[in-house]
Amino acid sequence: MTEAKEQDKKKPLSLSRPGTLELKKTVTGGTVRQSFSHGRSKMVAVEVRKKRSYAQDAGGKMTKVEKPLEPVGEEKVEVEPEVPSEIVEEAQAASSLTTDEKATRANALKEAKIAAEEDARLAEELAARKAFETDPEPEPEPEPVVEAQPEVASEPEKDKTAAKGAQSARGRKDHTAEEEDSARGRSRTARPEPRHTPGARRSEPRRRSGKLSIDEALGVREERTRSLASVRRAREKQKQKFQPTEGQKIIRDVVVPEVITVQELGNRMAERGVDVIKTLMKLGVMATINQTIDADTAELVVSEFGHNMKRVSDADVETELTGAADDESTLQSRAPVVTVMGHVDHGKTSLLDALRKTDVVSGEAGGITQHIGAYQVTMSNDAKITFIDTPGHAAFTEMRARGAKFTDIVVLVVAADDGIMPQTVEAIVHAKAAEVPIIVAINKMDRPDADANRVRTELLQHELVVEEMGGEILSVEVSALEGTNLDKLEETILLQAELLDLKANPDRPADGVVVEARTERGRGTVATVLVQRGTLRIGDIFVAGSEWGRVRAMRDAHGISVEEAVPSVPVEVLGLGGTPAAGDDVAVVDEEARAREVTEFRSRRSKDLIATQSARGTLEEMFEKIQKGTKVKNLPVVIKADVHGSSEAIVSALDQLSNDEVKVQVLHSGVGGVNESDVILARASGGLIIGFNVRANPPARELAKTDNVEVRYYSIIYNVIDDLRQALTGMLAPAIRETFLGNAEIREVFNISKVGKIAGCMVNEGMVRRGSKVRLVRDSVVIHEGDLSQLKRFKDDAKEVKEGLDCGMAFANYQDIQAGDVIECFDVEEIAREL
């Protein structure tokens, strides 16, 4: 070819005459019909290009080589002898495309080719995975794919390739449907990688799709696990097995209290409230959904719906609160609980002090006990005795009765010089009512006038026969002041306790009784609790009457903090939400909900009882007042004390002071200091405030001074009673006393102008005095009672007229007098009354 070029350079280009330069045509054209959907068609012009090619012949000259038609481009595609008409038509249509359309078609061909390669690769992977699952063998590493550079094809060939790619794209889903279905169940490592975008370079390695797990990185085949949706479907099927089928009636056990609302009854039966109301209407009961019905009506409704009814009472919340009885094998010996009772100032507390080697008397105001004290004493032989000291004053009757209630032995203290006194008799009655053994301690034997035989003889009047007189009652002669025979008294108590064989189970939830309760600043409610069964520990939830709480701290009788309290041990407990009443039962419960339920029921019952009693008393008193025509005067009082027992004793004593004319109205009684609400209550009722061993806080003092509310402080209970007795006495109406003076008979009646009628009288008995009260009696019937306006002897005014003399009388504002009437003259005297 180089030689030909050199020859061309040497020989100048010349043309044969006539010298026309021309090239033969290398492009041939034609038309092809192109078919579309819906029966449409189009004629498209098609061009076929021919390429000139020259080569050296045997002589070294360039000669023309006749070759078959080839498409323009590096890739040579042989034209098949038989081409489908659709491809020919599409190829002919492609000849009329613009440059942009041809570029778009070329991109489409490239994408179709890439998609075909992806489908082939996916099919190979699926086939290899199936073979691995059948006979797993190590897979050979894939050989790197070297892709050839795309060649530029001629326009007709491009059209053919585009047509083939379109057919491949249309049939791709069909020939890979089964393979894709099988690929859905394979593990995450077998998921196909996403296809490359048209602009991705084929020479770069394909990117991994999805997250890389440890098993995938190590080449470990992941086991197939159950999906979450499958687990949910299984649970739903299991749940449907237990659900009733439609139309199947569920019979329920409906718990119905004494009173229940219609809505609550429907909820417990799992019935609609409308249906319950319809049933009630059929039974003749018109009720709304929020209206309450009784248990009998609820039972009819429940039977109408076909359910089973279980009637319960509100009091059922208290059932099994203290638990069942203990087994004999779990019982252990416990210390005896001894209550010291007797008349006031007979030496009960002094005797207990001698046993405890302490001085409690000095701490009591006036030298008398006004609280219940609980102490545990350890004897020389390590035996323990729990003593409960009770007041001997007459106002503390309920305290003594309460002390005898939860005791094992009663020690009756009788002074050898005084003998049996009223409170001694009362203590005997309480001990007999509690059915507890009595030990008589004859105290003050150091006195010169002490006579123990006199005491034993007086006890016979109350059916108490001591051993010295052939009875069973133990008696000990002691002296608390000198400490005489104290060891003998202790031995007698332990002997009696041994005969009683006192036992309790400490390994169970505790229950006991509130001996006393008070409120202390900074500590809240402090309750003295005597444990009777079980063991009380810090953190226990317990119920005390209408209050509940959690044990935060405990202290024994010596003020030492303890972690637990066994039976017969008295402790001070902190943690109650309110102040309970002395004598309330204490029980440990499991949950706070149970404690709230019990306390709410007890509070509701207490309020209902008070409301019922007050309403009944008000009606009865109202009818009595109407019949008697008297009006009761009330003295409103607000009582605040340091402990519940003291306030209880004051209220009881004040009730005994009341009569039909005057009465002490206790507006409020509580434990703690006087606060502003107490002052406001007393001001609204016009009453006074009594503080027993408590004081008012500064705001309450200022408010009481501003509102002129009287606040009285006391430390001895009989001072309270004496002052209120005087106050009630001042409220009593004075007694009216009449003093008869004399009678006078009317002999003549005179009419005097500007004066009225004047009675001429003769004094038959006694005397008649001016300014005295008179009665006019006619035929033994009193027709008038009034005053004398005038009394004259002849023409002169007289102060008095004695028997046997005549006089003239005129009545004030009364003129109906006749001859023969009798005039009684008397004086009226008012006398102050006392309670």
Q: Is the pLDDT of residue 192 over 50?
A: no
- Domain segments of the chain: what residues? 32-133+153-177, 253-316, 329-504, 523-603, 630-731, 735-831
Q: What integer pLDDT is reported at residue 200 of this predicted model?
A: 46
Cα torsion 811, 812, 815, 821: sign: negative
Tokens matching residue 716: 């001895």
Is the model more confident about 388 or about 244? Answer: 388
Least confident of 437-451, 629-643, 682-696, 760-774: 629-643
CA 815 to centroid of chain Cα atoms = 79
**Beta carbons within 8 Å of 233's beta carbon, 6+ residues apart:** none
Q: Is the pLDDT of residue 342 over 60?
A: yes
**For residue 561, what is the DSSP state?**
B
The pTM for the full model equals 0.51
pLDDT in tens, 303-320: 999 898 888 776 666 666
Is the model more confident about 831 or about 351? Answer: 351
Q: How confident is the model at residue 145 (pLDDT cuts 50, 70, 90)?
A: very low
Q: What integer pLDDT is reported at residue 276 of this predicted model?
A: 92
Tokens matching residue 285: 């009961």
Q: Taking residues 754-758, what's their average pLDDT?
A: 80
Q: Taking residues 363-370, what's their average pLDDT?
A: 50
Residues 818, 824, 827: CA angle, nearest 5 degrees = 140
Helix (H) or strand (E) segment spanning residue 777: strand 773-778
Range ranked top by mean pLDDT from 10-14, 518-522, 735-739, 776-780: 776-780
Q: What integer pLDDT is reported at residue 665 of this predicted model?
A: 82
Q: Assess whether the region 523-603 and the region 630-731 belong to the same CATH fold.
A: no
Q: How confident is the model at residue 632 (pLDDT cuts 50, 70, 90)?
A: low
Tokens matching residue 239: 């749940």
Residues 208, 213, 215: CA angle, nearest 5 degrees = 110
- Fold for 523-603, please state it: Elongation Factor Tu (Ef-tu); domain 3 (2.40.30)
**For residue 740, what is the DSSP state?**
E
pLDDT in tens, 39-95: 788 888 877 776 666 677 777 677 766 655 444 444 444 444 454 555 555 555 555
Q: Are 176 and 98 in contact (CB under 8 A)?
A: no
Least confident of 94-103, 213-222, 374-383, 730-739: 213-222
| DSSP labels, 795-810 | TEE-SEEETT-EEEEE
Residue 505 Cα distances to 331, 402, 511, 542, 734, angstroms: 4, 24, 11, 18, 63
Is the model more confident about 316 or about 153? Answer: 316
Q: Is the pLDDT of residue 337 over 80?
A: yes
Q: Taking residues 780-788, what's their average pLDDT?
A: 86
- Strands in 633-641's sheet, in edge-to-edge order, are 662-671, 633-641, 688-692, 711-714
Q: Is the pLDDT of residue 339 over 80?
A: yes
Q: Are 394 and 345 in contact (CB under 8 A)?
A: no
In whole angstroms, how large is the CA radius of gyration of the chain? Answer: 60
Q: How many Cβ atoms sit within 10 Å of the Cβ of residue 629?
A: 6
Least confident of 86-90, 312-316, 498-502, 549-553: 86-90
Q: Is the pLDDT of residue 144 over 50?
A: no
Helix (H) or strand (E) segment spanning residue 181: helix 155-184
Helix (H) or strand (E) segment spanning residue 453: helix 452-459
Q: What integer pLDDT is reported at residue 182 of this predicted model?
A: 45
| DSSP labels, 64-108 | E-------SSSS--PPPSS--HHHHHHHHHHTT--HHHHHHHHHH
Q: Is the pLDDT of residue 267 over 60?
A: yes
Residues 269, 274, 280: CA angle, nearest 5 degrees = 80
Q: Does domain 329-504 have CATH number 3.40.50.300?
A: yes
Q: What integer pLDDT is reported at residue 163 of this predicted model?
A: 45
Distance CA 549, CA 541 (A): 6
3-state secondary structure of 211: coil
3-state secondary structure of 290: coil
Q: Is the pLDDT of residue 359 over 60?
A: no
Q: Is the pLDDT of residue 190 over 80?
A: no
Q: How confident is the model at residue 799 (pLDDT cuts 50, 70, 90)?
A: confident
Tell me the CATH number of domain 630-731, given options 3.40.50.300, 3.40.50.10050, 3.60.110.10, 3.40.50.12170.
3.40.50.10050
Distance CA 256, CA 299 (A): 8
Q: What integer pLDDT is reported at residue 610 of this predicted model?
A: 66
**For residue 586, what is the DSSP state?**
E
Q: What integer pLDDT is reported at residue 551 of this predicted model?
A: 92
3-state secondary structure of 415: strand
Amino acid at 797: D
Distance CA 770, CA 828 (A): 13
Tokens matching residue 797: 């005014």
Q: What integer pLDDT is reported at residue 358 of this predicted model?
A: 45
Distance CA 296, CA 299 (A): 5
Tokens matching residue 118: 């992806």
Mean pLDDT score across all residues of the chain: 76
Task: Kindly report the CATH number that applies to the domain delimited by 735-831.
Answer: 2.40.30.10
pLDDT in tens, 217-255: 676 555 667 788 888 898 888 877 766 555 567 888 888
Distance CA 480, CA 60 (A): 161
Q: Which spans in 524-587 are helix H?
A: none
Percent of the chain exceeding pLDDT 90 equals 4
